[in-house]
């Protein structure tokens, strides 16, 4: 291979704040380090939420996986567990995400393509066959249908004889970011928020170790937001969820400790470390000073991190291993509680087993060989890190003030303000790439004349046909009376304001499908249609 040599390329201008060449103590003038940031596990938690952090326990090493049908995904989960994964992270296909069964006309060609197809309790049983739900933590990346997938998980655990109160894991369940940046919503915002608060209330009483929401900045960063925007809009969404739960009559100190967050680990190494520290400090202050939460556990921002999928390149894909390692280290130095590392081949297809293993080994090398976990917040006290942490907090707070002036996050989303800010940031970065003011290795600089090919994961087309056949066979043998009554019960609860979760659990146990339950709620709540912002 011959490397094309280029000269005169610009610098990498990816920081969201202007960066000076040198930082000194003068850049921290007026900042009270002793008061705000000296010790971990103390308000405002800038240095971490646990007193010993990774000296006591490493972060949970998750690998996001799901493909084809339940059996195929189950094999991948067992492979990852055998190679040292300490928690599962489930990817669902698009029909499951938007509440359509695999035989829906609009699901054609999408079944099992970007995640696993789940239609019924039998699919969920196959997905976790041979896996002890008492001994693992499961994260499910699901939003509009999160209530149904959590119900399926609970129902399967009951069938396995597990103690539901001891189940641990997370459903993403962050519908606001779907309206902002991703699009897999079903119901209008107010009705979607009602379902979320129903889940909060149910889990508090019945599944107390479960995180019922993972408030996500990840997808906003993938859509092009800056670091400060990611922090601001994520915490703004968090404030909206907290206020909605309070308005529903819930005690903040009962539900707030189970809130979790999900951030992106992007390319700008030092900025990302500072971002995580700033987010923790801001959330602590929001919860204690704005919402008047009394429990220190309510002030803690606990978060999962995933390395940045949008930075992966189809060109020279093996170079993505380096990008992922740098991003993962920023998350660890920033104090994440859980981490997923992307596979180097994801710009081309679903990860192969070899690529997934390398991604997991990246975390294990950081955890067991790098020395990074030996002390809490090793970057603390750096003039630059501390100044950048303060700067990101300042810029994020400016966004929160603008959102407050617009009437809160829901109003800001409805007006398109948040979406427009992210779109503008994405456009500016793309212009920088096009003009070579920002360098993407292998894309606009350091290209190769001939790219070598790599193995790409392929989904067997027969999997979709088999999934549809299984679904139709299930419909033919289930008890029609119990099934119909369970769906009628879901509809009645949706209309009356009764908590939906017990009814949804009854429905999945009566073999109602994801699409049927979602359609039942569609009848009551309607569907969201995005407004055109001119």
* Residue 453: CB atoms within 10 Å: 7
Average pLDDT value for residue range 339-352? 94
Given a cut of 70, whether residue 6 has pLDDT beyond it is no
**CA 467/CA 68 separation, integer angstroms:** 9
Q: What backbone torsions phi and psi does residue 206 show, to the nearest 5 degrees?
A: -120, -30
Q: Is residue 151 part of a domain?
A: yes
Q: How far apart are CA 176 and CA 189, in angstroms?
A: 7
Query: How confident is the model over 260-284, as a mean pLDDT?
Result: 98
Quick one: pLDDT at residue 14? 46
- Which residue in 334, 330, 352 sits closest to 343, CA to CA? 352
In the predicted structure, residue 3 carries a pLDDT above the cut 50: no
Contacts of 448 (CB under 8 A, 6+ apart): 1, 2, 3, 4, 315, 316, 442
Pairwise CA distance, residues 128 & 324, whole Å: 28
What integer pLDDT is reported at residue 7 of this predicted model?
35
Q: Which of left, alpha, beta for 497 (phi over 0: left; psi -120 to 50: alpha)?
A: left
pTM confidence score:
0.92
- Taking residue 71's Cβ as centre, other Cβ atoms within 10 Å add up to 14
In this predicted structure, the answer to whether residue 197 has a pLDDT above a threshold of 80 is yes
Tokens of 186: 């079903």
44 cis-preceded (ω within 30 degrees of 0): yes
**Mean residue pLDDT across the chain:** 93
Residue 77 tokens, joined = 């989960």
Q: Which residues pair with 247 in a beta bridge?
A: none
Buried b / exposed e across 263-301, counting CB within 10 Å, b at 16+? bbbbbbebbbbbbbbbbbbbbbbbbbeebebeebebbbb
Q: Give the residue carrying structure tokens 């001119």.
A: 534
Structure tokens at 250: 């819930």
Would you list the DSSP string of 464-528? HHHHHHHHHHHHHHS-HHHHHHHHHHHHHHHHHT--SHHHHHHHHHTT--HHHHHHHHHHHH---
232: in domain: yes
Query: In which band, very low, low, confident or very high, does the pLDDT at 291 lie, cut at 50, 70 and 90?
Result: very high
Q: Count of CB atoms within 10 A of residue 448's CB?
A: 13
Residue with tokens 């971990």: 40
First-to-last alpha carbon distance for the chain, in angstroms, is 49
Secondary structure of 408-431 in HEC code, one letter for each residue: CHHHHHHCCHHHHHHHHHHHHHHH
Whole-angstrom distance, CA of residue 518 vs CA of residue 96: 10
* pLDDT tens digits along 40-73: 999 999 999 999 999 999 999 998 888 889 999 9
pLDDT at residue 12, as a whole number:
39
Q: What is the mean pLDDT of residues 403-432?
A: 96
The answer for residues whose C-beta is within 8 angstroms of residue 189's C-beta and 6 or more apart is 175, 176, 179, 410, 413, 414, 528
- Alpha-carbon distance 333 to 310, whole Å? 21
Mean pLDDT is lowest, of 14-28, 167-181, 187-201, 253-267, for 14-28
3-state secondary structure string across 104-153? CHHHCCCCCCCCECCCCHHHHHHHCCCCCCCCCEEEEECCCCHHHHHHHH
> Does the pLDDT value for residue 428 go beyond 90?
yes
pLDDT reported for residue 293 = 98
What's the CA dihedral at 510, 511, 515, 516 to 10 degrees?
Answer: -40
Range of the structural domain that residue 319 is part of: 25-434
In a domain, 142, yes or no: yes
Into how many domains does the chain fold? 1
Are 441 and 316 in contact, with CB atoms under 8 Å apart? yes
- Quickly tell me which residue has 């020279």 as its tokens: 316
pLDDT score recorded for residue 287: 98
Using a 10 angstrom Cβ sphere, with 0-12 exposed, 13-18 middle and 19 or more buried, the burial of residue 105 is exposed
- Name the one residue in this structure whose structure tokens are 């196959």: 126
- Residue 529: inside a domain: no
Centroid of chain to Cα 160 = 27
In a domain, 461, yes or no: no
Percentage of the chain beyond pLDDT 70 is 95
d(CA 514, CA 96): 7
Percent of the chain residues topping a pLDDT of 90: 87
Would you place residue 36 in the very low, low, confident or very high pLDDT band (cuts 50, 70, 90)?
Answer: low
Q: Which residues are registered as beta bridge partners of 448?
A: 3
HEC letters along 40-88: CCCCCCCCCCCCCHHHCCCCEEEEEECCCCHHHHHHHHHHHHHCCCCEE
User: Cα–Cα distance between 28 and 54 in angstroms, integer?
Assistant: 28
CA distance linking residue 298 with residue 251, whole number of Å: 11
What pLDDT is stored for residue 10 in this prediction? Answer: 36
Residue 523 in domain: no
Q: What's the pLDDT band for 300 if we cut at 50, 70, 90?
A: very high
Quickly state the pLDDT bin for 38 (edges 50, 70, 90).
confident
Nearest to 260 by CA among 234, 228, 288, 290: 234
Provide the CATH number for the domain around residue 148: 3.20.20.240
Reading the block at residue 469, the tokens are: 């056949």
| 5 has pLDDT over 50 | no
Q: How far is C-alpha 236 from the chain's CA centre?
A: 16
Whether the pLDDT of residue 425 is over 50: the answer is yes
* Residue 532 clears pLDDT 80, i.e. is over it: no
What is the mean pLDDT of the segment spanning 268-282?
Answer: 98
Q: Is 216 helix (H, G, I), strand (E, B) or coil?
A: strand
Could you report the per-residue pLDDT of 354-393, keeping only the tens digit for each?
Answer: 999 999 999 999 999 999 999 999 999 999 999 999 999 9
Q: How confident is the model at residue 451 (pLDDT cuts 50, 70, 90)?
A: confident
What is the CB neighbour count within 10 angstroms for residue 449?
Answer: 8
Q: Is residue 410 part of a domain?
A: yes
Of 114-128, 194-208, 221-235, 449-463, which range is least confident? 449-463
* Res 530: pLDDT: 79
Q: In what order do the strands lie in the sheet with 210-211?
A: 210-211, 168-171, 137-141, 87-91, 60-65, 338-340, 303-307, 259-265, 213-216
| Per-residue confidence (pLDDT) for residue 86, from 0 to 100 | 84
Q: What is the enclosing helix (H) or strand (E) of 264?
A: strand 259-265
Q: Tell me whether residue 228 is in a domain.
A: yes
* Section 146-156 average pLDDT: 98
Residue 263, both tokens:
């951030």
Model pLDDT for residues 220-247, shown as the tens digit of each residue: 999 999 999 999 999 999 999 999 999 9
| Confidence (pLDDT) at 210 | 96
Confidence class for position 8, pLDDT limits 50, 70, 90 = very low
């Amino acid at each position: 291979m011959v490397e094309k040599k280029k000269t005169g390329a610009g610098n990498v201008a990816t920081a969201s704040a202007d960066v000076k060449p040198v930082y000194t103590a003068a850049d921290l003038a007026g900042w009270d380090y002793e008061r705000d940031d000296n010790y971990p596990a103390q308000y405002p938690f800038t240095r971490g939420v646990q007193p010993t952090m990774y000296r006591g326990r490493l972060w949970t090493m998750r690998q996001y996986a799901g493909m084809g049908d339940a059996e195929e995904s189950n094999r991948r989960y067992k492979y990852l567990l055998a190679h040292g994964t300490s928690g599962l992270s489930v990817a669902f296909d698009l029909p499951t995400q938007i509440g359509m069964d695999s035989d829906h006309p609009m699901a054609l060609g999408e079944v099992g393509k970007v995640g696993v197809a789940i239609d019924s309790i039998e699919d969920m049983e196959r997905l976790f066959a041979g896996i002890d739900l008492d001994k693992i933590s499961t994260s499910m990346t699901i939003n509009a249908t999160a209530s149904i997938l959590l119900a399926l998980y609970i129902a399967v655990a009951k069938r396995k004889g597990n103690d539901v109160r001891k189940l641990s894991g997370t459903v993403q369940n962050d519908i606001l970011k779907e309206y902002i940046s991703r699009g897999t919503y079903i119901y209008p915002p107010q009705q979607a928020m009602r379902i979320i608060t129903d889940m909060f209330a149910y889990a508090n009483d019945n599944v107390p170790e479960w995180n019922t929401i993972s408030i996500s900045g990840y997808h906003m960063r993938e859509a092009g937001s800056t670091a400060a925007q990611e922090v601001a809009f994520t915490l703004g969404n968090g404030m909206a969820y907290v206020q909605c739960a309070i308005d529903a009559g819930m005690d903040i100190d009962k539900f707030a400790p189970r809130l979790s967050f999900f951030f992106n680990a992007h390319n700008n190494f030092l900025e990302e470390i500072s971002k995580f520290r700033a987010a923790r400090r801001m959330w602590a202050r929001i919860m204690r000073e704005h919402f008047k939460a009394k429990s220190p556990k309510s002030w803690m921002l606990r978060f999962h991190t995933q390395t940045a999928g949008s930075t992966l390149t189809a060109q020279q894909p093996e170079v993505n291993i380096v990008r992922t390692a740098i991003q993962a280290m920023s998350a660890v130095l920033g104090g994440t509680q859980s981490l997923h590392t992307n596979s180097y081949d994801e710009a081309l297809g679903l990860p192969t087993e070899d690529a997934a293993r390398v991604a997991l080994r990246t975390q294990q090398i950081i955890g067991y060989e790098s020395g990074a976990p030996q002390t809490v917040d090793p970057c603390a006290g750096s003039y630059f890190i501390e100044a950048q942490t303060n700067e990101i907090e300042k810029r994020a707070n400016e966004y929160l003030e603008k959102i407050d002036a617009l009437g809160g996050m829901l109003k800001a989303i409805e007006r398109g303000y948040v979406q427009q800010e992210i779109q503008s940031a994405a456009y500016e970065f793309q212009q920088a790439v096009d003009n070579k003011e920002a360098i993407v290795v292998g894309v606009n600089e350091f290209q190769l004349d001939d790219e070598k090919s790599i193995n790409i994961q392929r989904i067997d087309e027969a999997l979709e046909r088999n999934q549809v056949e299984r679904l139709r066979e299930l419909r033919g043998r289930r008890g029609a009376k119990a099934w119909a009554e369970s769906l009628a019960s879901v509809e009645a609860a949706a209309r009356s304001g009764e908590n939906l979760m017990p009814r949804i659990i009854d429905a999945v146990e009566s073999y109602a499908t994801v699409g049927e339950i979602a359609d039942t709620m569609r009848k009551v709540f309607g569907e969201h249609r995005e407004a055109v912002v001119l």
